Chains A and B, each alone.
Chain A
Amino acid sequence: MSEALRLPTNAELCDEADALPEPLVGEVIEGMLYAMPRPTPAHAHVEEGVILDLRGGPRGGSPPPPGWFIKLEVEVRFPTDEKVVPDVSGWRDARIRGHRNDNPIRVTPDWVCEVLSDGTRRKDLGPKRDLYGRQGVGHLWLVDPAARVLEAFALETDGRWKLLASFVDDAVARVAPFEEVPIALERWWLVDE
């Protein structure tokens, strides 16, 4: 096969992703480069809510879960040279020790939270979710701001995502891997009054 016909490697696609102009963010999953725009206000509001609830913040409430390193929109690169920027990702302290300042982080997250939006839904629910499964992310939360739903999944040994619980509207969520943190979901939804 000639050089002109060769498909780019994941590593080469990552270089292209890194070269995307602001404010685009690139992800590389199974040989495809996805360019994402800045998140919508509703999307960003959920991200802020998740961070406040799991890292602690000025609005008080329950203390953050101990033993976790939680990050917003940090680049994660897998051994396959696939790279993603999860909306919120978390690592148990023991696994991330020594790598907190890495960029990208090459330690597979223990938990990821993805906030869905029209432009990213198909990717997040398809290739990205599959990637998390293949790479062994233990827990996945999917949040749909439009439907006001949080669904929490755990990765089974056969690679399937098992539903742990789903919460809607103003429910208070307590679900793995943060069972000890009650989360008032109504604070996540952007209300335009």
Chain B
Amino acid sequence: MSTGRRLHYSYEEYLACLEASVLKLEYCDGTIYAMAGATPAHAELAAARLRVLGQALLGRCRVCSSDLKVRVEASDLSTFPDATVVCGDVCTSARDASAVTNPSVLVEVTSRSTEDYDRGDKLSHYKQLPSLRAVILGSHRSRRLSCVTRPPEGWAERDFRPGETVRLDEPELAIDVDAIYAGVTLEGM
């Protein structure tokens, strides 16, 4: 590859870039973005979520780290959420056998550089996944989990703080905020 400025990448070109890249790359409708790097706090929080989710869903759902690519076919987004929960058989994209298309729960740890995007446009992309039942957003600045759920009447969002427990019906799941943030030094603290 020796071309200069690209205005639009095909998905195949994205996969080639991903293979060669030093970074995790996100693809959205022809544009490729570098995904944010992990601060120590971000890495701690992501690990805590994996541990708590893994224990809570043992034997019922698969809990995968940020190595797993998720694809939103409806909006042509491929990205690497901080954690992905898949309940039932794993479905992958016809364009990309390594990208899962049917997550039940997605988890993102925000960072200073990504918070607006995570809570805005990225969340809008995720909501177009038919299988998705909840998105859990962990704040990097305070001990707070934002839970965005899809009950029958439409998407709803609620914050949970220390001492509180996030409860989901589908999959059945309870996550203590304290368990996620135990021992984690947040940014700015």
Chain B residues near A30: list those with CB within 8 A: 39, 187
Contact present for B5 and A164 (CB under 8 Å)? yes
How far does the alpha carbon of A80 sit from the alpha carbon of B18 in the complex, in Å?
Answer: 33
**Choice from A121, A163, A168 contacting B25 with Cβ under 8 Å:** A163
Q: Does B55 contact A (CB under 8 A)?
A: no
Given contacts A149-B20, A151-B23, A158-B117, contact A130 B37 (CB under 8 A): yes
Given contacts A168-B1, A174-B4, contact A126 B22 (CB under 8 A): no
Chain B residues near A19: list those with CB within 8 A: none
The size bracket of the interface on B is: 20 to 34
Q: Does A134 contact B (CB under 8 A)?
A: yes
Chain A residues near B139: list those with CB within 8 A: none
Q: Does B34 contact A (CB under 8 A)?
A: yes
Contact present for A179 and B39 (CB under 8 Å)? no
Contact present for A153 and B5 (CB under 8 Å)? no
Interface of B is mostly: loop
Q: Does A62 contact B (CB under 8 A)?
A: no
The size bracket of the interface on A is: 35 or more
Contact present for B113 and A159 (CB under 8 Å)? yes
Chain B residues near A173: list those with CB within 8 A: 2, 4
Complex: chain B residue closest to A29, CB-CB = B39
How far does the alpha carbon of A127 sit from the alpha carbon of B37 in the complex, in Å?
Answer: 7
Q: Does B158 contact A (CB under 8 A)?
A: no
Residues of A within 8 A of B (CB): 30-31, 116, 121-122, 125-127, 129-130, 133-134, 142, 144, 147, 149, 151, 153, 156, 158-168, 171-176, 179
> 4 tightest A-B contacts by CB?
A126-B37, A163-B32, A161-B34, A174-B4
